[in-house]
Amino acid sequence: MFKRQKQRRELQDKGNTSKNASKNTSENVSKNADKNTSKITGNIDEDIKTIKAALCCSPDLVIRRLKPADSSDDTVVAYAVMYIEGLADRKVIENNVIKPLLKELSQEAKSSSDKAYTTRTSITEKIKNTIASVSNLNETDNFDECINEVLTGNTIFLTSKSKSALVFNTPGWKTRNPEEPISEPSVRGSRDGFVETLQENIVRIRRRVRDPGFAIKKLKVGRRTKTDVAVVYISNIANKDLVEEVVHRIEQINIDEMISAGTLEQFIEDNFLSLFPQIQYTERPDRVVAALMEGRTAIILDNTPFVLIVPATLPMFIQSPEDYYDRWIYSSVIRVLRYLVVLFSLFLPSVYIAYISFHQGLIPTKLAIFIASTREGVPLPSLIEALLMETTLEILREAGIRLPKTIGQAVGIVGGLVIGEAAVRAGIVSPVSVVVVALTAIASFSVPQYAIGIPIRLFRFVLMITAGILGLYGVMLAFIMITVHIVRLKSFGVNYMSPFVPYRPGDWKDFIFRLPVMMMKKRPEILKTEDQWRQGNSGKG
């Protein structure tokens, strides 16, 4: 599937090995470069000092030293527990690490004769095996990792005279309760949306997919933010090349910060200059699960409730998971309506301008007379009028986003009704333009995914201008150019307009109409999945 990209990559890699070498050294930007790759010394005070120095300006780093109560002897082992306030779960640390350790230490003090376990080698073993009742436990021996772990919210446990540190996995920050996704409300589907924690999001998906083939590839992105990324797929459904390509593209990202999935999206897209989104993002787990089962890959970024789905095709943006929960005829009709709505919201203002300014003969006569009579006295030509109104609408839209919900609604009403009405009465615009613009706005709200609304809004303006210059001819040519652009786009090797173009009749069952679920036995051909059958024979159980 990605033959050409692989070849290109090999060429690139050969040419870039020298560049890579220099890249690695430039990555080490922090002041204590040499110190970070060094190993833990075993001298606990030194170690603590090193770590403290690395996290120089973080007063929220908590260091708890533990020593047997009665010793001032250097040979006695001391312990240090380090974590960052708020990131790590204090309760877990206190109850499961410090408490049993203190108990052990006091016992040690009582039976002071037995010095066997105060030797350095076995102490971490002992703590690992008998004392720390933390389920997730790792060991590390270099500072770099220690610091990363602390910053991730885990706890570092240093033992003097031990060259390795224990890492307890104790995430303890507060997460938002799952709420209904605001951008994609659902009528009949589930209402839990994704949250900002990576693991929680994975869990949300795992709850729905209990297949052992559910695979996760964990990566880190962002030199300074070191954000976790999980590439999720079903291992014997998804095409291996696809997964490889996704992972490779993410690994190629070379940037300091990765704050949201939106930025990630722009880095791994096939064509970031295009107005059309080539990656879908969603807040709904059911959409993600459906995509995974088709053979797509999901990318989850820590700290973003939006999950990316790859590869994405244009029809995907016009479909909604609700379509599968309702009856098939109703869903098919609604889908057809949505396609019409997309065309409508794209073309209505430009076609209006083309008719009014250029091809008056094409309007039915009575309507033409009526429009002419209402436009008497309006000072602006229809192109300027329509542009003006559309721009006003966009401004209102922006305003509506910024304002709190209650005021936002009032603004909508004020802007729409009052200003529109007043403008008509003042004779600045004609009532027909107001109607046209209002209809367009309503149509654009019916698009299920916000992502596709953006190219529509922008192209609407382009179409209006071409309509104002060359009438219907301009509209047609602009439409042709838009379709040519769409047809050229690929999203991770899949044509953007699949399954319409190139023709794959097998996939048309789910394209415009949504045929009954019983009939959709195979997975989409375009994804070249390993396991073709969804239903019936040779299925998985």
Partner 1 sequence: MRKNKVRSKVTILVGLLITLAVFLSGCWDRREIEELSMVAGLAIDCEENTSTPYKEGSISNKEEQMEFDKEKQLQIIVTQQYIVPKAVSGGEKGGTSQKSPYANVSVDGNSIYEIMQKFENINSRTPNYEHLRVIIISDKAARYFNLYKLLNAILRHPETPRNIDMLVSERKACSILDIAPRSEDIPAFKLMMLVRKTKSKSGTPSVSTLGDMSKAMAAGKSFVIQRVGFRQDIGSEYDTVKISDSNYNNLANINKTSGMNFIYDSGTKGLASGMGDIIEAVGAAVIKGQTYNMTGWLNRSETDALNWITGKVEEGSVEFKESKSSETIVYDVDRVKTKIKPEILEGKISFTVDMKMEGTLVEDWLMTADAFKEEFIKDMEMNAEKEVRRILEKTLEKLQKELKTDVAGFGKQLSIKYPRYWNDIKDNWEEIFSDVPINLDLKVYIRDFGRQGSKK
Partner 2 sequence: MHITDNPKDKISTVQAIVFISSLTVGAAIITLPRSAARSVNTPDVWASILFGGLIAIIPSIILVKLSQRFPGKTCFQFNRIITGKFLGWILSFLMIAYYTLLAGFEGRMMVELVRVYLLPRTPIEVALMAFLWAGTYLTVSGINPIARAFEFYFPIVIFIFFSVLFLGLQRFELDNLRPLFGQGFKPVLRGIMTTFLTYAGFETMMILTAFMKEPWKAVKVVVIGIGISIAFYVSLSVVVVGVLTVEEIKTLAWPTIALVNSIEYPGGFVENFQVFFLIVWIFAIYTTFVSSHYIACLGLGQISNKAFNSFVYALIPIIYIVALAPQNLEEVFQLGDYIGYFGVFMGGIVPVILLFIAIIRREGCAEKQGEK
Binding residues vs partner 1 (CB under 8 A) = 8, 12, 273, 356-358, 360-363, 365, 368-376, 378, 381-383, 431, 468-471
- 484 is in the binding site of which of partner 2, partner 1, none (Cβ under 5 to 8 A by kind)? partner 2
Least separation in angstroms between residue 126's CB and partner 1 is 54
Question: Which residues are within 8 A (CB) of 265 and not within 5 positions of it... i.e. 6 or more apart?
Answer: 277, 279, 281, 308
Nearer to partner 1, 13 or 179 (CB): 13
Alpha carbons 378 and 311: distance in angstroms, whole number? 49
| Token pair of 17 as six digits | 């090995």
Question: Which residues are within 8 A (CB) of 398 and not within 5 positions of it... i.e. 6 or more apart?
Answer: none
Token pair 């919210």: residue:
153
Site for partner 2 in 444-483 (CB under 8 A): 470-474, 476-477, 480-481, 483
366 binds partner 2 (CB under 8 A): yes
- 122 is in the binding site of which of partner 1, partner 2, none (Cβ under 5 to 8 A by kind)? none
Nearer to partner 1, 152 or 357 (CB): 357
- 529 is in the binding site of which of partner 1, partner 2, none (Cβ under 5 to 8 A by kind)? none
- 481 is in the binding site of which of partner 1, partner 2, none (Cβ under 5 to 8 A by kind)? partner 2
Q: Which of these segments, 50-58, 168-176, 243-251, 358-366, binds partner 2 (CB under 8 A)?
A: 358-366
- For 256-272, b/e burial (b = at least 16 CB within 10 A) is eebeebebbbeebbbee
Q: Which of these segments, 37-45, 364-372, 376-384, 398-406, binds partner 2 (CB under 8 A)?
A: 364-372
Least separation in angstroms between residue 534's CB and partner 2 is 25
Do 228 and 198 meet the contact criterion of CB atoms below 8 Å apart?
A: yes
Least separation in angstroms between residue 185's CB and partner 1 is 38
Alpha carbons 325 and 321: distance in angstroms, whole number? 7
Nearer to partner 1, 282 or 430 (CB): 430
Alpha carbons 9 and 168: distance in angstroms, whole number? 39
- 476 is in the binding site of which of partner 2, partner 1, none (Cβ under 5 to 8 A by kind)? partner 2
Nearer to partner 2, 304 or 382 (CB): 382
- 539 is in the binding site of which of partner 1, partner 2, none (Cβ under 5 to 8 A by kind)? none
- 102 is in the binding site of which of partner 2, partner 1, none (Cβ under 5 to 8 A by kind)? none
117 binds partner 2 (CB under 8 A): no
Question: Which residues are within 8 A (CB) of 129 and not within 5 positions of it... i.e. 6 or more apart?
Answer: none
379 binds partner 2 (CB under 8 A): no
519 binds partner 2 (CB under 8 A): no
508 binds partner 2 (CB under 8 A): no
Would you say how long the chain is, in residues?
541
Q: What is the dihedral of CA 336, 340, 343, 346, to 10 degrees?
A: -120
- 367 is in the binding site of which of partner 2, partner 1, none (Cβ under 5 to 8 A by kind)? partner 2
387 binds partner 2 (CB under 8 A): no
Could you give phi then psi for residue 409, rounded to 5 degrees?
-65, -40
Q: Which of these segments, 77-85, 234-242, 427-435, 485-493, binds partner 2 (CB under 8 A)?
A: 485-493
Do 156 and 83 meet the contact criterion of CB atoms below 8 Å apart?
A: yes
501 binds partner 2 (CB under 8 A): yes
- 3-state secondary structure string, 188-238? CCCCCCCCCCHHHHHHHHHCCCCCCCEEEEEEEECCCCCEEEEEEEECCCC
- 133 is in the binding site of which of partner 1, partner 2, none (Cβ under 5 to 8 A by kind)? none
- 371 is in the binding site of which of partner 1, partner 2, none (Cβ under 5 to 8 A by kind)? partner 1
Least separation in angstroms between residue 11's CB and partner 1 is 9
- For 413-441, b/e burial (b = at least 16 CB within 10 A) is eebbeeebeebbeeeebbbbbbebbeebb
Nearest to 318 by CA among 188, 448, 441: 448
Sign of CA dihedral 357, 435, 186, 333: negative
| Token pair of 72 as six digits | 């001032």
484 binds partner 2 (CB under 8 A): yes
The helix/strand/coil state of 52 is helix
Nearer to partner 1, 151 or 476 (CB): 476
Among 359, 417, 421, 425, binds partner 2 (CB under 8 A): 359
Q: What is the DSSP letter of 282?
A: E
497 binds partner 2 (CB under 8 A): yes
Residues in contact with partner 2 by CB under 8 A are: 358-359, 361-367, 470-474, 476-477, 480-481, 483-485, 487-488, 495, 497, 500-503
